[in-house]
Amino acid sequence: MIYTIEAENYRIELGSLQESSFEYFMNVNYPNSRKIILVDENTNEHCLEYLLTSYSFLSNAEVIVLPQGEENKVMDICMQVWETWSEYGFERQDVLINLGGGVITDMGGFIASLYKRGIDFVNIPTSLLAMVDASIGGKTGVDLGSYKNQIGLFVNPKAVFIDPGFIHSLPEGEVFNGFAEMLKHGLALNEGHWNELVTMIDVVKEINEEHIYNSLLLKNTIVLEDPFESDLRKKLNFGHTIGHALEGYFFENDPISHGYAVALGILAESYISFKRNYLTLSEFSQIEKVLLMHYFPIDLSNESLNEIYQLMKNDKKNKNGEIKCVLLISIGQSVINKTISELEIIDSLEYLNRLFLEAKKD
Ligand code: GLY
């Protein structure tokens, strides 16, 4: 079965790629275009062959392999790709297929949108994170040093084909990266989604198409209402104000994954929500219990706290120098544009560290 979701001006299909309209879509829209496939080292090894052997219309596709990992989501790599495309003589009517996780769909969309003022691109996400979040909604871009997604554009793909079978092309731990974003959708937007996720004990085994569909639907509904994040879409940044700063802080020495950083950000921002009496103790305890079941807390030294705070001061979500955050008022309901103070931030980071010290004792 194929689930179909209508997005802003494109369609998302969820289900086996073979059963989807991928081939039909490409043949109808790009019969004479050259096809470029963007992969990273991992999807080159584990996913590309499946695509190439399944579709004869891709037999002449040019494959561009990018080095793997968030540290390569930078302008230098984009420059290299643009130079290669220029040498190969790709033209404006050619089309890019992004086959990969969030780094590939974010970066591929960005590269395509600027090349010759924009060529079309189609996303085939291979990680859970890209399936439920990065591949839809039109956010594309690259990082700038420790600052995530500082350079980028809102540009929609022409179509997104989500085949959950690809999840197993990645190490099991990778599933938790995407699961954090799904928990975020539940907490910030819909209690029912949260409730269906928290019953899972073995996420890798239990996650299914329906969970992915429900998460996608929540994100897509918000994006349809506020595509350029002037208001409602900010709710999707829950867990990311502190999460991005943690990711940026660890980036230089001992990088942590985006999903793990978001999970920690969810804990810290739920803690602030609780401290403000927005969340009851029982709601906060449930969130803490669920998050700690899947994510081990992190060691934050006293010296790191101020550095993390300084990173937050440069967050692109800030306004008039104030640090803005999404907070929870109950499970499934959030409020945007809440100014959080230095004291609250440091307190929440100390809370994360207490969790680490307690977990280490056990
Ligand atoms: N990842 C959050 C958003 O797309 O708005």
Per-residue pLDDT reduced to its tens digit, 300-312: 988 899 999 999 9
Burial of residue 129, with CB atoms counted within 10 A of its CB: 0-12 exposed, 13-18 middle, 19 or more buried: buried
**Full-model pTM:** 0.95
- 360 noted as active-site residue: no
Evaluate if residue 315 carries a pLDDT over 80.
Answer: no
| Nearest protein CA to atom 4 of ligand 1, as residue | 137
Per-residue pLDDT reduced to its tens digit, 246-258: 999 998 778 999 9
Distance of CA 352 from the midpoint of ligand 1 (Å): 24
- 117 noted as active-site residue: yes
- At residue 74, the pLDDT reads 97
| Nearest protein CA to atom 5 of ligand 1, as residue | 236
CATH of domain 172-361: 1.20.1090.10
Substitution candidate for ligand 1 out of 232, 236, 258 with most atoms within 8 A of CB: 236
Residues 209, 212, 215, 220: what is their CA dihedral angle, to the nearest 10 degrees? -90
String of DSSP letters for 74-107: SHHHHHHHHHHHHHHT--TT-EEEEEESHHHHHH
Distance of CA 75 from the midpoint of ligand 1 (Å): 21
Per-residue pLDDT reduced to its tens digit, 137-187: 999 999 998 788 999 999 999 999 999 999 988 888 899 999 999 999 999
Per-residue pLDDT reduced to its tens digit, 286-305: 999 999 999 999 999 888 99
> What's the mean pLDDT when you consider all of the chain?
96
- At residue 289, the pLDDT reads 97
The atom number, within ligand 1, closest to the CA of 237 reads 2
Residue 40 tokens read as 């990273």
Evaluate if residue 15 carries a pLDDT over 80.
Answer: yes
C-alpha 17/C-alpha 126 separation (Å) is 11
Average pLDDT of span 50-70? 96
- At residue 168, the pLDDT reads 87
Q: To 5 degrees, how large is the angle CA 336–CA 229–CA 191?
A: 50
Indicate the CATH number of 3-169 among 2.40.50.140, 3.40.50.9100, 3.40.50.300, 3.40.50.1970: 3.40.50.1970
Evaluate if residue 362 carries a pLDDT over 80.
Answer: no
String of DSSP letters for 298-357: ----HHHHHHHHHHHTT-TT-BTTBPEEEEEEETTEEEEEEE--HHHHHHHHHHHHHHHH
Domain ranges, ordered by start, for the chain:
3-169, 172-361
- Residue 131's nearest CA partner among 96, 168, 94 is 168
